[in-house]
Amino acid sequence: MSSHPNRVIVIVLDSVGAGELPDAARYGDAGSDTLGHLAAAVPLRIPSLRRLGLGRVARIGGDAPPASPEAAFGLMAEASPGKDSVTGHWELAGLVLDRAFPVFEGGFPPELMAEFERRIGRGTLGNKAASGTVIIEELGREHLRTGRPIVYTSADSVFQIAAHEDVIPVPELYRMCGIAYDLTVDGLGMGRVIARPFVGAPGGFTRTANRRDFAMPPRAETLLDRLSAAGWPVVAIGKIEDLFAGRGITRAEHTKSDAEGMDRLERALGEVDRGLIFANLVDFDTLYGHRNDPAGYAANLERFDVRLAALLPHLGARDLLVVTADHGNDPTTASTDHSREYVPVLVAGAAVAAGRDLGVRRTFADLGQSLAELFGVGPLAHGTSFLGEVLATGLPGRSAEPRRPAPGIWPPASGTRPPASRDRNP
């Protein structure tokens, strides 16, 4: 086992989904396909992701995918109810929820808002489901005049507070978020509170990098808890620390952009030679998915592909690189919310059986279970490990032959395009 990988880099491309799940209609997401619709709208120049096998699991257009990709590849379905970042990341780390976080798409109850306003000492604006950029433009002028923070939500379990940094300084906004956390996360079991500071003047408001997520701690043990307890380094880059409420993390690096996220990841590779480096690149979701901006989304995916090309040659003999996502956010639909989609999983490294088809996994937790097995901290409560399928030499006492998909699971044939997402049936 000593020759097996001992460092794993997981990069979550926030919202880069690969087609609707069978239950997508229950969430208002029938027909959503973030990558597929993106590629139909904007030809994608992503040679590195294509070489790893993304075209085997997503409709990304262009030439036929390589018959033998350079990575193991597959799709993962979300088993937990919901489609938000907290739920998705927890499931990637092996925690499957048995109930969804509560949502308030019609606005928060009057009694809740009255208590929130009493505690913060001022009134509020909004209290409805809305796109963040839209509601800031809609209510920003009144916010500047009254000093009242803008409260809004979405299809996710989130209480968001937007405020101009010159009107409500960032530390005061964070204090308000703490009050909201007490009332909504602790009080109602919601997933998270988000601070949404912005600057500028009416007609030109822009959100700043001082966003902060205040999430519920995981409801049960995750891969991160197991790793840190066993003495493995767990480096969190981007909003990972916020999504796990700091649990199981030994070092946190907050970032202001995806470019900075990749900079921090590359620096961590030179400083941490074992354990887990777990990065979230949120610009896909925040800047482009929620704003229904296919061109911007595509450009960001291409920028990531360039960084990926630079990263791959620096992987060591005992490194595994995992590229995946946490949900969808199709920028071509009328909705500006997250979408209930499959996510790709690409696993690369010297020890990987390149071209291995992992099929369609029934839960994101298969990734967490696989890494728990790799690091010797499993088994976790949820998920089925695919580690033996990924490693070129298999595991001691196990065959390295591909898993036989369960009935109804789609195993793509070499060189074929993925079928319509409605036909995927995990």
Contact between 318 and 6 under an 8 Å Cβ cutoff? The reply is yes
Per-residue confidence (pLDDT) for residue 155, from 0 to 100: 86
Tokens at 174, concatenated = 């964070």
Per-residue confidence (pLDDT) for residue 65, from 0 to 100: 87
Q: The domain 110-214: what is its CATH number?
A: 3.30.70.1250
Per-residue confidence (pLDDT) for residue 399, from 0 to 100: 41
Contact between 4 and 351 under an 8 Å Cβ cutoff? The reply is yes
From residue 421, alpha-carbon distances to 75, 77, 141, 417 in Å are 11, 12, 43, 11
7-99+216-423 placed in CATH 3.40.50.2300: no
Domain spans of the chain, in order of start: 7-99+216-423, 110-214
Distance CA 380, CA 373 (A): 9
Cis-peptide into 313, omega within 30 deg = no
Q: What is the DSSP letter of 234?
A: E
Query: 116, 123, 127, 128: which is closest to 147 by C-alpha?
Result: 123
CB proximity list for 31: less than 8 A, separation 6 or greater: 20, 24, 333
E strands, 165-286, are: 192-199, 206-207, 212-215, 234-237, 251-253, 275-281
Distance CA 51, CA 66 (A): 7
Tokens at 320, concatenated = 């595994």
Query: 368, 372, 370: which is closest to 356 by C-alpha?
Result: 370
pTM reported for the whole predicted model: 0.88
Give the torsion sign (CA, 175, 284, 241, 216): positive
Per-residue confidence (pLDDT) for residue 392, from 0 to 100: 85
Give the torsion sign (CA, 98, 128, 194, 324): positive
Residue 142: exposure state from Cβ atoms within 10 A (0-12, 13-18, ≥19): middle
What is the DSSP code string of 5-18? --EEEEEEETT---
Distance CA 265, CA 349 (A): 16
- Can you give the pLDDT of all 426 residues of the chain as single tens digits? 457 899 999 999 999 999 999 999 999 999 999 999 999 999 999 999 999 999 999 999 988 888 889 999 999 999 999 999 999 999 999 999 999 899 998 999 999 999 999 999 999 999 999 999 999 999 999 999 999 999 999 988 999 999 999 999 999 999 999 999 999 999 999 999 999 999 999 999 999 999 999 999 999 999 999 999 999 999 999 999 999 999 999 999 999 999 999 999 999 999 999 999 999 999 999 999 999 999 999 999 999 999 999 999 999 999 999 999 999 999 999 999 999 999 999 999 999 999 999 999 999 999 999 999 999 999 999 999 999 999 988 665 444 333 333 323 333 332 333 333 323 333
Distance CA 102, CA 208 (A): 28
E strands, 14-54, are: none
Q: What is the DSSP letter of 56?
A: G
